[in-house]
Amino acid sequence: MAIDTTQELIKKIQSRAYSRLVITTHHKPDGDAMGSSLGLMGVLKAYCEEVQVIAPTDYADSYHWIPGNDSVWVYEGREAECDSYLASCDAVFCLDFNRLSRINQLGEVVGQLNCDKIMIDHHLDPEFFYTYAFWDTRASSTCELISDFAKKLDGYDMNVDTATCLYTGMMTDTGHFQYANTTPHTLKTAAELLAKGVDHVAIRERIFDAFSPDRSRLFGYCLHEKMELLAGGEVALIYLSAEELLRFNVQTGDTEGLVNFGLNIKGVRMSALIIDRTERVKMSFRSKGDIAVNEYSAQWFSGGGHKNAAGGQSEDSLENTVALFKRTVKEFQQTWK
Ligand code: 5GP
Ligand code: MN
């Protein structure tokens, strides 16, 4: 499924109709969110004087090296300044999300602006809040879409920093080009980015060989002491209390990737990670094949995402949320072939 209504937008960009642009992305930005935002910033700076990336919340230290990161504003704690900047901008680009509720309070601010709003995204079920959309659920990542978008700009020649931003998000959203979202077009795009001079080994090391000792120990603890196998060994579950997060000094981004480990076990077809984030219980789901965890998450945990990678949340206690998961996942398993 795809929407591309960017023809007029491209004309506006090329004719330099915009002088102040904002780029924003989802809550707790990941590699694709920051890579696409900073990559698009690199592209748009060739056509526009002021381009500001505003992240709704903080994000993992392992993304702070991405070219352009020093110029990012984090909305939380800087609301007034961001609001006044937004009030005077010509357009807001919304990347890697498709519902304004995904950017918290910032979503209400963006929703009320009269300027152009552009959604560039690859998640299912977009909400209609945009003026222009470049949306394709077949794209591996928003970074892949930004690369396609840049090709629409006549004569645009991407530099190595921008290519580095985009390669980063493609690599993280495809799990090193291993997940089912990796297509011939994905690999072709990644190859074009590498040809710009991207150092893919350095990117890998900065993101994946950047664990703190606490984070490594947390992963070991979860696999050794916390992982449960349910539903006859087809479902893996790890859940963490607020106390355990403190014990391992868990920082933003530290639990990223943990949910994937369940799927390493032979026979496991769905993996879940449930974390007590105090203000709410947050969950991550991963699956193999036709098991649509986004639908499961939407049904039981006000969530969504992709077929094989989704998330959700609960306002209930950790204990009750885990109990609800254990009960409903058995029912869900009955729908698997
Ligand atoms: P993660 O488990 O890495 O946080 O998220 C996996 C996927 O699910 C991402 O594509 C993310 O956008 C989506 N996702 C995570 N949490 C939520 C949620 O609460 N609601 C919705 N609609 N999608 C989510
Ligand atoms: Mn993405």
Alpha carbon 11 to its chain's center: 28
- Ligand 2 centroid–CA 126 distance in Å is 14
pLDDT of residue 6: 98
Q: In the structure encoding, which two tokens stand for residue 88, read together?
A: 């005077």
* Mean of pLDDT values over 299-304: 94
Please work out whether the CB of residue 29 comes within 6 Å of at least one atom of ligand 1: no
Mutate to test the pocket of ligand 1, among 293, 297, 321 (most ligand atoms within 8 A of CB): 297
Ligand nearest to the CA of 31: 2
94 has a pLDDT exceeding 90: yes
Closest atom of ligand 1 to 286 CA is 2
- Ligand 1 centroid–CA 285 distance in Å is 8
Please work out whether the CB of residue 306 comes within 6 Å of at least one atom of ligand 1: yes
pLDDT of residue 231: 96
Please work out whether the CB of residue 311 comes within 6 Å of at least one atom of ligand 1: yes
The pairing of strands 270-276 and 304-305 is: unpaired
299 has a pLDDT exceeding 90: yes
Which region holds residue 214: left if phi is over 0, alpha if psi is between -120 and 50, else beta? alpha
65 has a pLDDT exceeding 90: yes
Residues 229-240: tens digit of each pLDDT: 999 999 999 999
Please work out whether the CB of residue 122 comes within 6 Å of at least one atom of ligand 1: no
* Mean of pLDDT values over 278-306: 95
Ligand nearest to the CA of 280: 1
* Mean of pLDDT values over 121-146: 96
Residues 137-169: tens digit of each pLDDT: 999 999 999 999 999 999 999 999 999 999 999
State the chain's mean pLDDT as an integer: 97
Ligand nearest to the CA of 98: 1
* Mean of pLDDT values over 238-259: 96
Is residue 92 very low, low, confident or very high in pLDDT (cuts 50, 70, 90)? Answer: very high
* Mean of pLDDT values over 286-315: 95
Nearest CA to ligand 1 atom 2: 284
Which domains are seen in the chain, by residue range?
A: 2-208 (3.90.1640.10), 213-333 (3.10.310.30)
Is residue 28 very low, low, confident or very high in pLDDT (cuts 50, 70, 90)? Answer: very high
- Ligand 2 centroid–CA 142 distance in Å is 5
Nearest CA to ligand 1 atom 6: 310
pTM: 0.93
pLDDT of residue 281: 98
- Ligand 1 centroid–CA 97 distance in Å is 9
82 has a pLDDT exceeding 90: yes
337 has a pLDDT exceeding 90: no
Closest atom of ligand 1 to 28 CA is 4
d(CA 4, CA 45): 22
Which region holds residue 232: left if phi is over 0, alpha if psi is between -120 and 50, else beta? left
The answer to whether 146 touches 40, Cβ cutoff 8 Å, is yes
pLDDT of residue 262: 98
